[in-house]
A and B are shown apart, each in its own frame.
Chain A
Amino acid sequence: MDNIAGKKSALSWAVNIAVLALVALWVFPTVGLLVSSFRTGDQIASSGWWKSMLPTEQNLTLRTAGGDEAELIDGLYTVSGNLFAHEGIEQLDISAYGTSSRDVGAYAPGETVDMGDGEIIAVEADGDYVYTSEAEMSGRGQRVFVTAEVAPEFTLENYDNMLFDPNNIEGMSKAFFNTLTVSIPATIIPILVAAFAAYALAWMDFPGRALLIAAIVGLLVVPLQLALIPLLKLHNEIGIGKGYLGVWLAHTGFGLPLAIYILRNYMVGLPRDIIENAKVDGATDFQIFTKIILPLSFPALASFAIFQFLWTWNDLLVAIVFLIDSSGETTVMTKQIIELLGTRGGNWEILATAAFVSIAVPLVVFFAMQKYLVRGLLAGSVK
């Protein structure tokens, strides 16, 4: 806005850099989890995820060929070949090697080393070696410690394991479908109920309307913690117990104030002429609602739907109170992650993958429908 007066802000560079830093700070945690979910457990435990993008120096222990392959050349028992080929692993670029575990990076590649007792070894950067001995060699080959650059490596194994392995009782597939089963009906049903109520509150005149709107604004902030015990008691008394029906009803009830509030605020803003013309033409309220109001309110409906979907998908408290019984058959992803945090606290490949499976769907919804989410936020906060 400083450019309005035709003056380019001197702060422009600083602003760009500040925003870059802020964005980096905000994205960094999530990226860490995402990257970790593509690494093996050993990789995660041995180096920070931020190092995984760059080639890393690793120490490998390799062996030359055994004594039975030695040939007698010029009076010396000699074995030669390639260290990597012997182990059957990909050839790497050796930056240093050693013959003792006490000093694994003692020599540069190409250097010829006298190991004492008449044994001499030379290792090239590509892993080719010549190892000679005056005495006859026996048994397994000589150990060689090499330091080499290892290219970044990522794997899909974690996802395969957590999602598609039917034998994995810690897997997320069941919890994933349970979460979906909770959130879809819990998103759709309150919308319809709220839409009718919002129409009545926006366009019908009746005594007590203002009081009702005020009550709904009040209910917006009632902590759902208060509702846990009374409703659990109620559900047990009327025979619903713990289960999907209970959690759907609970989510419907808890989502309604926001739904009514957002939808009413939106519907009030629709042009009065359309509704009055329709009335003059003899349309009933029911027709006006289904044929005019509902289609016109699509943006508000979408906003609330996204909110409710994110909320029910990410919910933990309502699910553990109203849904998950002792059998654990109906566990949802958030609960499953909590369990994994308890039992697999150090296994980050499992935790990161599990968490990302549960985060992925909301993230897709978020990026695809961000416009509606923002609109809903703007409409849904009490001004």
Chain B
Amino acid sequence: MNPALQGLLTIVIGVGGCVAYFYFSNIVLDKVLFPPRGPNAGRNINRANMIRPWLFLLPALLALGLYLAYPVFETLRLSLTQRVRGGGYEFVGLANYQQMLREPKFWEGFSNNILWLIVVPAASTAFGLLAAQLTDRIKWGSIAKSLIFMPMAISFVGAAVIFKLIYDTRPAGQEQIGVLNAVWLGFDGGVGSFIWLRLVPGLLLLALAAGAGALAWSLIKPVLGREGRSPGVIFGALRILGAVLMAAVVFLMLRQTLAVFTAEFPYGQPQTWLTIPFWNNFFLMIVLIWIQTGFAMVLLSAALRGIPEETVEAAIVDGANPFQIFFKIKMPQIVGTIVVVWTTITIIVLKVFDIVFAMTNGQWETQVLANYMYDKLFRANDWGVGSAGAMVIMLMVTPILIWNVYNARKEMR
């Protein structure tokens, strides 16, 4: 059958089936099972109303259970098994995890993922906040917003093509058609080159290191300090783990800052950007930052507009300058939204697959967990280790999952 026709038929069957199911199941409930007539009319109505919600929920619950809840447990089970020759599976305990932890590609993916997790949400939120704050003050702000928001509609694969054109390299001597190389060949090692290639990135790295350091300190402080309530053993351990991770990040950033100031740059030679180890990760991250900034901007812009004007007016009357207003009056009021933006982008980062798959496929030390997992599952056909990789991603999402559920429950009360 023609796929388009099949699609149309599916829509008709799907939609018709849903409507028919809801309609007839309600009729059966009201007319056949518990008719609101006879001696038990009152009881029947109550019973019908107890069952009806589940009629409404049934298809959704079935789909959710089968397509999202069941796979979590099945993947957990698969990660503990191994295929035996001749079909079937055997339980192997944590052997898959051990094997995975011995693979350098896993650690490469893991450390790259950590880097992504720090850089992409931070940069997207920062750019989004900047865009939201700036566009709120000008006449053509809504046009500017919709243009910055536009990449949101573009697929990761499309964005990968767009940025591959930017990173394109031609041999030395030919005209460069990639913007980045064209700009790069404009640098000659003079003062401009020092400012743009050493000073600015160096300062940015230092700022990132400072941010990570502050985060590490705020994580470890309640554990060290004796005042206040004790955080409990599990939270304490989590905090220490987080602080250690952040300290590692600080160390990494400081080392790179040193490298930025001391490295010899090959001026005048076109670069193949996606093959430069470590830095190529950033060239991939730029793609996701470019896409996600619009999302951050939209949410933060709404939050900024929701700030009561009185608070800002009062600050102006008290003589605050625009920067004080922004950092001391507005920021504390939108901190909740910033957390939402941050966690949402974090989840997207953990799932990022298409960009790496399309641009480098994990070569040149750009592996990430999602792509590592895909490699294991569908290229190496090793379901055990692949599932173990998936469980690592799930584990990294879990804190956000718990946090979201906790907040949603708090909001409902």
Q: Nearest Cβ in chain A — how far from B141, in angstroms? A: 7
Does chain B have a CB within 8 A of A32?
A: yes
Question: Contact partner of B60 among A194, A314, A348, A351, CB < 8 A?
Answer: A194
Q: Nearest Cβ in chain B — how far from A316, in angstroms? A: 5
Q: Assess whether B68 is in contact with A219, with CB atoms less than 8 Å apart.
A: yes
Does chain A have a CB within 8 A of B377?
A: yes
Interface SS of A by simple majority: helix
Q: Nearest Cβ in chain B — how far from A81, in angstroms? A: 33
Residue of B60, B66, B317 with most partner-chain A CB within 10 A: B60
Residue interface bits A211-255, CB-to-B below 8 A is 1, else 0: 011101111111111111111011000000000110011101110
When C-beta atoms are compared, the residue in chain B nearest to A44 turns out to be B177
Q: Assess whether B57 is in contact with A212, with CB atoms less than 8 Å apart.
A: yes
Residue interface bits B55-68, CB-to-A below 8 A is 1, else 0: 01101110110111
Q: Assess whether B299 is in contact with A377, with CB atoms less than 8 Å apart.
A: yes
Does chain A have a CB within 8 A of B94?
A: no
Q: Could you tell me the distance between the alpha carbons of A284 and B45 in the complex, rounded to whole angstroms? A: 11
Q: Assess whether B131 is in contact with A222, with CB atoms less than 8 Å apart.
A: no
Q: Assess whether B397 is in contact with A200, with CB atoms less than 8 Å apart.
A: no
Q: Could you tell me the distance between the alpha carbons of A229 and B79 in the complex, rounded to whole angstroms? A: 11
Q: Contacts A47-B175, A204-B53, A317-B354 given; indicate if A219 touches B336 (C-beta within 8 A).
A: no
Residues from chain B with Cβ under 8 Å of A316 in the complex: 155-157, 353-354, 357-358
When C-beta atoms are compared, the residue in chain B nearest to A245 turns out to be B10
Residues from chain B with Cβ under 8 Å of A12 in the complex: 137-138
Residues from chain A with Cβ under 8 Å of B59 in the complex: 193, 196-197
Q: How large is the interface on A (under 10, 10 to 19, 20 to 34, 35 or more residues)?
A: 35 or more
Q: Assess whether A365 is in contact with B153, with CB atoms less than 8 Å apart.
A: yes
Does chain A have a CB within 8 A of B15?
A: yes
Question: Contact partner of A204 among B52, B127, B162, CB < 8 A?
Answer: B52
Residues from chain B with Cβ under 8 Å of A366 in the complex: 149-150, 152-153
Q: Could you tell me the distance between the alpha carbons of A228 and B383 in the complex, rounded to whole angstroms? A: 11
Q: Could you tell me the distance between the alpha carbons of A366 and B337 in the complex, rounded to whole angstroms? A: 23
Q: Assess whether A192 is in contact with B141, with CB atoms less than 8 Å apart.
A: no
Q: Contacts A9-B322, A257-B64, A382-B340 given; indicate if A19 touches B134 (C-beta within 8 A).
A: yes
Q: Assess whether A227 is in contact with B67, with CB atoms less than 8 Å apart.
A: yes
Q: Could you tell me the distance between the alpha carbons of A108 and B68 in the complex, rounded to whole angstroms? A: 74
Residues of B329-365 at the interface with A, using a CB-CB cut-off of 8 Å, are: 336-337, 340-341, 343-344, 347, 350-351, 353-354, 357-358
Q: Contacts A220-B404, A370-B149 given; indicate if A15 touches B68 (C-beta within 8 A).
A: no
Q: Assess whether A2 is in contact with B316, with CB atoms less than 8 Å apart.
A: yes
When C-beta atoms are compared, the residue in chain B nearest to A340 turns out to be B161
When C-beta atoms are compared, the residue in chain B nearest to A321 turns out to be B378
Q: Nearest Cβ in chain A — how far from B382, in angstroms? A: 11
Residues of A185-207 at the interface with B, using a CB-CB cut-off of 8 Å, are: 185, 188-190, 192-194, 196-197, 199-201, 204-206
Q: Assess whether A338 is in contact with B351, with CB atoms less than 8 Å apart.
A: no
Q: Could you tell me the distance between the alpha carbons of A151 and B353 in the complex, rounded to whole angstroms? A: 42
Does chain B have a CB within 8 A of A313?
A: yes
Q: Contacts A2-B316, A5-B313, A197-B60 given; indicate if A313 touches B155 (C-beta within 8 A).
A: yes
Q: Assess whether B357 is in contact with A338, with CB atoms less than 8 Å apart.
A: yes
Interface-forming stretch among B95-103, B163-171, B233-241, B253-261? B163-171
Q: Assess whether A32 is in contact with B162, with CB atoms less than 8 Å apart.
A: yes
Q: Could you tell me the distance between the alpha carbons of A180 and B3 in the complex, rounded to whole angstroms? A: 10
Residue interface bits A355-378, CB-to-B below 8 A is 1, else 0: 110110011011100100110011
Does chain A have a CB within 8 A of B265?
A: no
Q: Assess whether B353 is in contact with A317, with CB atoms less than 8 Å apart.
A: yes
Does chain A have a CB within 8 A of B408?
A: yes
Residues from chain A with Cβ under 8 Å of B108 in the complex: none
Q: Assess whether A337 is in contact with B404, with CB atoms less than 8 Å apart.
A: no
Does chain B have a CB within 8 A of A272?
A: no
Q: Could you tell me the distance between the alpha carbons of A214 and B413 in the complex, rounded to whole angstroms? A: 12
Residue interface bits B401-413, CB-to-A below 8 A is 1, else 0: 1001101110110
Q: Assess whether B158 is in contact with A204, with CB atoms less than 8 Å apart.
A: no
Does chain B have a CB within 8 A of A303?
A: no
Q: Could you tell me the distance between the alpha carbons of A265 and B284 in the complex, rounded to whole angstroms? A: 35
Q: Nearest Cβ in chain A — how far from B290, in angstroms? A: 7
Residue interface bits B355-391, CB-to-A below 8 A is 1, else 0: 0011000000000001001100110000100110011
A-B contact pairs, 16 of them (CB 8 A): A22-B144, A29-B159, A32-B179, A48-B175, A189-B10, A193-B18, A200-B56, A204-B49, A222-B72, A223-B394, A229-B78, A244-B6, A286-B22, A317-B374, A358-B155, A382-B343
Told that A23-B148, A200-B53, A285-B26 touch, could you supply 18 new A-B pairs with CB distance under 8 A? A1-B309, A12-B138, A28-B179, A48-B177, A50-B179, A188-B14, A192-B15, A192-B18, A196-B18, A204-B53, A223-B351, A230-B78, A286-B26, A314-B156, A334-B354, A362-B155, A366-B153, A382-B407
